[in-house]
Structure 1
Amino acid sequence: MSEFLAQYGNELLIKTWEQIYISAVALFLGIIVAVPLGVALTRFPKLAKFFIGLASILQTIPSLALLAIMIPFFGIGRTPAIIALFVYSLLPIMRNTYIGMNNIDPILKDSAKGMGMKPIQSIFLVELPLAVPVIMTGIRLSAVYVIAWATLASYIGAGGLGDLIFSGLSLFQPSLIIGGTIPVILLSLIVDYLLGHLETYLTPRQKRSL
């Protein structure tokens, strides 16, 4: 272990940062697109099946195939990797946002309307806070997916911990494979843990106690 860190410690830090950067940007883009879209679809249910179906189809495309498709349009490097991971992040977030918003008790919606709230006020002050647990479940799932799939980004020159893993595979060095795999697992666990705490913080107290 000490020998590995002495030889590859600096590179490990760089690759870990690249993995975090690629994953964070893709997930952030997924959240700011999928959450508003999921909310909007609750107001246009006829479009919901189409958009959720489209996102489902895109997610069935193999990761390497989607990365390869991006190359003619965006070249190689981080940009095509981020776009591909963004596409993969959409479905869980959008679907959970749609489900969470649709499962709000109609009585609460009517109460908000009776209090004189406009639709946009009802969304932000009543519906979204109550749907937070379901929405955050989708975000946590997407985060784990994105971090795991980001390892494949090294195939198109985006960097990340995949560089260590695939170098280890090509050079038959188990230490490189393990050295790249363990940080990916740890990143997934840490991010899921932090998002779990964020979910608890954002969930209204009344619903948290149920």
Structure 2
Amino acid sequence: MIVIEAFQWILDNPGNFFSAFNRHVLMCAISLGIALVIAIPLGFLVARSRRGSFIAINIAGSLRSIPSLAILSAAMPILGIGLLPSIIALVVLAVPPLLLSTIVGIREIEPSILDAANGMGMGRGDILWQIEAPLSVPSILSGIRTSAIQLIGGAALASFIGGGGLGDFINAGIAIMNMPRLLVGALPIALLAILAELLLGRLERSLTQRR
């Protein structure tokens, strides 16, 4: 009955719902895109350096241990409230899994493959684009899947710092003790996370088999 009431509210208020839904997806997409631009090049840069990868892995591990709400709360006194600080906080949330998966993907490549490439006279750039990048794609996709799911859930908390999105319905439902209103936000977030898991997981398995 509560779920039916939630769907009825969506049908009665499509403008409010889809405005929040689109903002939620936009926050996740922009944050993931920025995180990809930061984490993947950085991962390729430090992966072959013992010291560099050690520092990067430890920093990423430390950031992963910080709760999502703490990252968002820390952004508020520095950057204020609204969409921009929410995106910046979500980027901080998304970078660690991407960085770790990129480093792992490169370091799992058999050294004999790289030795053979060097023996064939391939340059550093050729090895990067023709060997390291293709072979590390499945691992990178695993990081993208993890980051995407974390962002979909973390973006719900962006409502606390004025980011908007589906989290507004959850907060409103809690504030007025209205379960249907809470589910208006919670159910789409859960469905988005499941969809991201299924699609990216299938793509990852497909590329792993090809590899």
Residue matched to 2:172: 167
Residue matched to 2:209: 208
Residue matched to 1:101: 106
Query: Aligned equivalents of 1:5 and 1:151: distance in 2?
Result: 18
Question: Alignment identity in percent?
Answer: 34
In the alignment, is the contact (CA less than 8 A) between 1:30 and 1:93 conserved in 2? yes
Residue matched to 1:47: 52
Following superposition, which runs of at least 4 residues in structure 1 exceed 3 angstroms of deviation? 196-201
* One-letter amino acid of the counterpart of residue 95, structure 1: L
When the two structures are superposed, what TM-score results if normalisation uses the length of structure 1? 0.91
Q: Which runs of 5+ in 1 are unaligned?
A: none
Per-residue deviation, 1:209: 4.8
Query: Aligned equivalents of 2:139 and 2:72: distance in 1?
Result: 29
SS of structure 1 residue aligned to 2:13: helix
In the alignment, is the contact (CA less than 8 A) between 1:59 and 1:87 conserved in 2? no
Query: Aligned equivalents of 2:210 and 2:134: distance in 1?
Result: 14
Residue matched to 2:190: 185
When the two structures are superposed, what TM-score results if normalisation uses the length of structure 2? 0.90
Query: Aligned equivalents of 1:198 and 1:63: distance in 2?
Result: 27
Residue matched to 2:119: 114
Residue 84 of structure 2, aligned match among 79, 84, 87:
79
Aligned residues: 206
After TM superposition, the structure 1 stretch with the greater mean CA deviation from structure 2, 154-163 or 31-40, is: 31-40
Q: Which runs of 5+ in 2 are unaligned?
A: none
In the alignment, is the contact (CA less than 8 A) between 2:71 and 2:93 conserved in 1? no
Query: Aligned equivalents of 2:94 and 2:82: distance in 1?
Result: 19
Residue matched to 1:140: 145
Give CA-to-partner distance per residue, 1:47-85, whole Å, 9 cap, x none: 212122112222322322222221232211011111111
